[in-house]
Structure formats: structure tokens, C-alpha cells
């Protein structure tokens, strides 16, 4: 992985590189095309599910430095970070738990096989081309973990002409960062390289955090019909663990090393026929040290993934058949030597475009797990686009599941090898209005029933399938360009999420959430974006006593401004503009007012 000092050297030499010819770059999908919803590129107007696409252009307009900040502008999704930079960060989709969102990076599963879920704390946007969020049950396509939806991150591809870009940034609270992205090569062989060094001093004692990452992607086009790539990404993050207010841990420290290696291959072998193959490894190695208690641990969680897909496309139909095999392994220095799980799956899906603007999709997947056996996952959607392409009505329903993680199955003090998967049954109906100029307004009503949720059972002193929950809600979102200079991106979610065992609200699921982002281009080369995020009152657990509490609502304001000057773009970013004090997770204060100044260099 590129060391931090190499990042600065690359930035210094960037002006010597030739200017990037944008005409030579490979075409990227716009906000109107969605891949994740059906495993194949489809026009958003033809899919029957709620989807949000965050493009590279939108990331740069809002100045989002991390994926978690970009995700705050997604309806039905709530981001919870337990403190400041580097703190554990989870997402909650449509009332599901933090383990009910499947996260993919270029099609590779990155959810941890140890204890389920994915921690977004160290994931920056430096190497992100676009983010797709599809909401609802998607186990029919992706198997385990996709109860609430799927978040897929697409990395930046190599261009067909040499080029590079870099950012330098500094701010209060010890904020320092440098990023580099460069691409070399041509049409048949191209290489993309990225490097990030980011650090923060934090807002509390023992909360400093450092993230370093590097990636290399080699794209090869052997023939007009056969292409492939090799992708390698490594991310290291480490820092202090301050603990909850009232229960501080002044000397605790932790970190994580993540590695992703992928080899995707695409073969177009006939009219409308395409075969794809993926071989991938995802690995995470978290560490924790608490010298005051004489405790330390280092674990290693690895998943090997093999997947093959065959797609047949015609003007009116798209048929997809696929199979996959995943093998996960977890070891820990202090808990157990190693434990494993395996799962193989096969499925198919067909999308049909009827006359009169009607489209339908139906799919079924069967997973076979080494511990609990088989699990079928069906899903179907139906939508209709009006004759003038202004209105779309849609509906979908399906079942999803989450396989027990290796920690839940085999952890010495709570594991239960007899666990069944968590399951959900979900449905939604929605309507969308397409506006002149590319805008869109949508409203969706959804409901989900969760059963066999895995909880720790005190009488038996182990994990049991004893939980039940229900989520009901409405999402409203709009992206409206008022003119060539001003655009609004707004959303509101009304959510009722109930623990049906206790009758209480599920923790960290606010009843009301809303966001508003106003982007303006007041003059040539100038971008201003003001963002507001509101999170209402919500149930939580006291970080010290573990008793149920209710956390107060909060409103956060952010401002980003940038001026493009040929190859150089200075910018300023202000987060928590009003300096509000609030906790996203009780006992872990969010950062105060942050100010950062930066320079973006494009070659």
C-alpha cells in the first residue's frame, strides 16, 4: 500500500502530468440507469423498486469526504456514528437492523462474516465513482444480509487517456488529508491508482484517528467481446477508543485492516448474451487494545467468493441465471483458533417489458448454508410508465434472510450452532413523477415483518432466535432543478419500527428524518451547497447503564463552497455549521463545528 509520504510526493509532481482528455474516458452510468436492482443496467423508469443513485458529480457538488456523509442524502436510510471521525458507523435501512443492509464494492460482498454488518467509519469517497442504494428485500438476487436493501459502491474506472487528480485538505480538530487518483493506459489496457492519507485529532481525549488506503485497478480488453480486470484495495485505520461519556477509556486503542481482491471477467458471446464471472476475496482484521484491563485481541475474518452469471437480453425481455459459492473463515488470537461457514446458491430472474408501459420482474434464489440448511428467497415487482413518460407507479414484494454469522454460531460464550436465519417479508407501493430538466419526485409506502431475530437469551446464556419486529413507513424524496443554476435535493421519512416482543420502539430508528440539500452555481465555476439533516427523537440505550432511554432530536447544517480555476479548485467545507451538541448514539458526542480548507488539482 502507498505510504503517506508517497501521497505527498505524487501530489507535488501532478502538474507535470499531461492534462486528462475527458473524451477518452469510458462512459459512466447516469442517475437514470440502475445496475444493482436487477444485476443488469436498467433504466430507472422501468424498475419496480425504490432506488437512489449518487454519482461522482453529486459527490463533488456536496463535498462529501466520506461515503457515510454521501449516504445522509438517501431516503429511508439513517446513518449512526458513535462519536467523531473513525468511530463505528452503521446504517439502518427502512427500520431494519444495522446488520440488515448488504454492502457491495464492485459486486464484492464486504459485510463481516464474524459479527454481521459493515462499518463505514474509514471509507472515503476518493475512489468512488457512484453509489447505488436499492431499498427493500433483495435476497432473491444477493442472498444473505439484504433484508433492508443493498448499498453498492462502484470504484472509479481507468480512463483510456492518461490523467490524474489530487486533493490537499487541512482544518481544525487536527484535520489533515491528501488523496491522489491517477489513470494511465489506453483502450485495451488501462490502470487506475488511488491513495489516501487522512487523519483527525478528534474532539475528545484519545479520539485521534488515521486512515490510509491504496488501490490498483487494471482493466484489460482482450477482444471486442472479452474483457476483465484485476482490482486490489487495502485500507488501514487506527486510533484511540475514547469510550462513552462517563465511562471513558483513556488508553484504549483499536484499528482495522481491510483488503479486497477481485477478478471480474465479462464475455459477450452472442446477440444479447453475456456471461460474467467473479473471483474475489474480502478480508478484515480488526484489533483492540485496553492496557488498563490487560486485554487485547486481533481477529481475522475472510470470505472467498465465486460467482457466475449468464444474461440474455432482448428488446422486451431480460433473463438472468446465476450461481455462487462463498466460504468464510474467522480466527481470533484470544477467543478461538478458527471457525468456518460455507454457502452455495443458485437463482434466476426474468424481467419483461409489456405494452402500454408495463414492466414486471420475478426472481427466485435458493441458498444452502453449512450450518442451518436451505433458504428460498422469492421476489417480484410490477411497474407502469405513463404514455408521456411523466408518471410511474410501482409495487414489489419479497422475502429475505440473514444467515447467522460465525460469531453468532460459534463464539465461545454466546454462540449457538443451532441458530436459524433471520427472516423478513416485505412489500412496497410507490409513485414517481418525472420533471422537466431531469428532476424526479417520488413517494413510497413500505412495510416489513421481521422474525427469528437473533438475540442474546440470558436464561440460556447463548444466542437464540427469539426476536420479532415490524416496520411501517413512508418515504418522500425529490430532486428538482429549478434552473441551470439551482437544484434542490430533499427527502422525508416517516417510520414506525416496533419490537413485537417488548412492544417498545426499536432503538436508533427515529420516527421522523429529513434532509435538504440546495446546490447553486451563482457564477461560472462556483458551486455552493447547503445541507440540512434532521433526525427526530428515537429510542436508544444508555451507554453506561444500558437502560432504555429516548434521545432528543437534532438538526445539523453543513456548507460546501468551491471555485474552479482551470486545473485548480480551492474549496471550503463547514460541517455542523451551527455548532450543535448532539449524539447520534447515546454517550458518544458527535463532532462540533468543523472547518476545512482544501485544494483540488485536476490534470
234-255 pLDDT, tens digit per residue, is 999 999 999 999 999 999 999 9
Confidence at residue 25, expressed as pLDDT on a 0 to 100 scale: 38
Average pLDDT of the chain?
A: 90
DSSP-assigned beta bridge partners for residue 443: 431, 476
Residue 284 to residue 216: CA distance in whole angstroms? 18
Is residue 415 pLDDT above 60, yes or no? yes
Confidence at residue 30, expressed as pLDDT on a 0 to 100 scale: 60
End-to-end CA distance of the chain: 23
- Residues 379/387, Cβ–Cβ less than 8 Å: no
Helix (H, G, I), strand (E, B) or coil at 396: strand
105-144 pLDDT, tens digit per residue, is 999 999 999 988 999 998 999 999 999 999 999 999 999 9
524-580 pLDDT, tens digit per residue, is 999 999 999 999 999 999 999 989 999 999 999 999 999 999 899 999 999 999 999
H-state helical runs in 365-490: 406-410
**What mean pLDDT is predicted for residues 335-341?**
76
Confidence at residue 20, expressed as pLDDT on a 0 to 100 scale: 33
Residue 151 to residue 558: CA distance in whole angstroms? 24
- Band the pLDDT of 457: cuts 50, 70, 90: confident
Cell of 527: 458551486
Torsion angles phi and psi, residue 387, rounded to 5: -60, -30
Give the CA distances from residue 359 to residues 31, 129, 137, 435, 568, in Å, rounded to whole numbers and listed in that order.
Answer: 20, 29, 19, 21, 46
Confidence at residue 482, expressed as pLDDT on a 0 to 100 scale: 79
Kindly write down the DSSP assignment for every residue of 409-432, as one continuous string. Answer: HH-TTT--TTPPPEEEEEEEEEEE
- Band the pLDDT of 157: cuts 50, 70, 90: confident
- Residues 250/206, Cβ–Cβ less than 8 Å: yes
Cα angle 104, 75, 363; round to 5: 50
Is residue 10 pLDDT above 90, yes or no? no
- Band the pLDDT of 27: cuts 50, 70, 90: very low
- Band the pLDDT of 177: cuts 50, 70, 90: very high
pLDDT > 70 in the chain, percent? 94
187-228 pLDDT, tens digit per residue, is 889 999 999 999 999 999 999 999 999 999 999 999 999 999
Whole-model pTM: value is 0.93
**What mean pLDDT is predicted for residues 399-410?**
93
Cell of 181: 487518483
Confidence at residue 4, expressed as pLDDT on a 0 to 100 scale: 40
Confidence at residue 29, expressed as pLDDT on a 0 to 100 scale: 53
Amino acid at each position: 500500500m502507498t505510504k503517506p509520504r508517497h501521497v505527498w510526493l505524487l501530489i507535488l509532481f501532478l502538474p507535470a502530468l499531461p492534462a486528462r482528455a475527458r473524451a477518452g474516458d469510458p462512459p459512466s452510468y447516469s442517475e437514470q440507469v440502475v445496475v444493482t436492482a436487477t444485476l443488469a443496467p436498467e433504466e430507472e423508469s422501468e424498475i419496480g423498486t425504490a432506488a437512489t443513485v449518487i454519482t461522482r458529480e453529486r459527490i463533488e457538488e456536496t463535498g462529501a469526504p466520506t461515503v457515510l456523509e454521501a449516504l445522509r442524502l438517501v431516503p429511508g436510510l439513517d446513518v449512526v456514528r458513535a462519536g467523531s471521525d473513525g468511530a463505528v458507523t452503521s446504517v439502518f435501512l427502512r427500520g431494519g437492523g444495522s446488520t440488515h443492509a448488504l454492502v457491495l464494492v464492485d459486486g464484492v460482498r464486504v459485510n463481516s462474516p464474524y459479527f454481521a454488518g459493515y462499518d463505514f467509519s474509514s471509507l472515503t469517497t476518493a475512489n468512488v465513482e457512484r453509489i447505488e442504494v436499492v431499498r427493500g428485500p433483495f435476497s432473491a438476487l444477493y442472498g444473505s444480509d439484504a433484508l433492508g436493501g443493498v448499498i453498492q459502491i462502484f470504484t472509479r474506472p481507468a480512463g483510456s487517456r492518461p490523467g490524474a487528480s489530487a486533493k490537499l485538505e487541512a482544518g481544525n480538530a487536527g484535520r489533515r488529508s491528501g488523496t491522489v487518483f491517477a489513470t494511465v493506459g489506453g483502450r485495451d489496457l488501462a490502470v487506475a491508482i488511488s491513495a489516501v492519507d487522512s487523519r483527525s485529532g478528534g474532539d475528545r481525549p484519545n479520539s485521534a484517528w488515521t486512515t490510509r488506503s491504496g488501490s490498483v485497478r487494471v482493466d484489460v480488453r482482450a477482444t471486442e467481446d472479452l474483457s476483465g480486470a484485476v482490482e486490489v484495495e487495502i485500507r488501514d485505520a487506527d486510533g484511540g477508543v475514547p469510550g462513552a461519556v462517563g465511562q471513558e477509556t483513556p488508553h484504549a486503542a483499536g484499528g482495522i485492516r481491510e483488503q479486497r481482491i477481485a477478478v471480474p471477467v465479462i464475455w459477450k458471446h452472442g446477440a444479447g448474451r453475456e456471461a460474467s464471472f467473479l473471483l474475489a476475496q474480502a478480508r478484515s482484521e480488526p484489533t483492540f487494545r485496553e492496557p488498563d484491563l490487560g486485554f487485547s485481541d486481533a481477529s481475522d475474518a475472510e470470505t472467498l467468493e465465486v460467482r457466475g452469471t449468464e444474461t440474455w437480453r432482448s428488446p422486451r425481455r431480460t433473463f438472468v441465471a446465476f450461481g455462487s459459492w462463498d466460504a468464510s473463515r474467522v480466527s481470533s488470537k484470544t477467543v478461538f483458533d478458527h471457525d468456518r461457514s460455507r454457502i452455495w446458491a443458485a437463482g434466476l430472474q426474468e424481467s419483461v417489458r409489456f405494452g402500454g408501459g408495463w414492466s414486471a420482474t420475478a426472481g427466485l434464489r435458493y441458498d444452502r448454508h453449512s450450518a442451518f440448511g436451505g433458504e428460498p428467497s422469492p421476489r417480484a415487482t410490477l411497474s407502469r410508465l405513463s404514455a408521456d413518460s411523466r408518471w410511474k407507479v410501482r409495487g414489489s414484494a419479497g422475502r429475505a434472510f440473514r444467515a447467522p454469522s460465525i460469531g453468532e454460531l460459534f463464539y465461545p460464550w454466546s454462540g449457538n450452532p443451532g441458530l436459524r436465519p433471520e427472516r423478513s417479508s416485505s412489500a412496497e407501493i410507490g409513485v414517481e413523477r418525472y420533471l422537466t430538466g431531469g428532476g424526479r419526485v417520488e413517494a413510497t409506502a413500505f412495510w416489513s415483518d421481521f422474525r427469528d431475530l437473533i438475540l442474546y437469551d440470558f436464561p440460556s446464556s447463548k444466542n437464540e432466535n427469539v426476536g420479532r419486529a415490524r416496520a411501517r413507513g413512508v418515504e418522500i424524496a425529490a430532486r428538482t432543478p429549478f434552473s441551470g443554476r439551482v437544484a434542490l435535493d430533499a427527502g422525508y421519512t416517516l417510520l414506525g419500527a416496533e419490537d413485537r416482543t417488548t412492544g417498545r420502539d426499536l432503538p436508533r430508528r427515529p420516527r421522523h428524518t429529513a434532509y435538504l440539500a440546495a446546490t447553486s452555481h451563482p457564477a461560472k465555476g462556483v458551486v455552493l451547497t447547503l445541507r440540512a439533516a434532521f433526525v427526530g427523537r428515537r429510542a436508544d440505550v444508555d451507554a453506561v447503564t444500558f437502560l432504555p432511554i429516548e434521545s432528543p432530536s437534532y438538526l445539523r447544517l453543513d456548507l460546501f463552497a468551491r471555485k474552479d480555476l482551470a486545473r485548480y479548485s480551492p474549496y471550503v467545507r463547514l460541517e455542523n455549521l451551527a455548532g450543535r451538541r448532539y449524539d447520534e448514539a447515546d454517550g458518544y458526542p458527535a463532532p462540533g463545528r468543523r472547518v476545512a480548507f482544501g485544494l483540488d488539482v485536476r490534470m
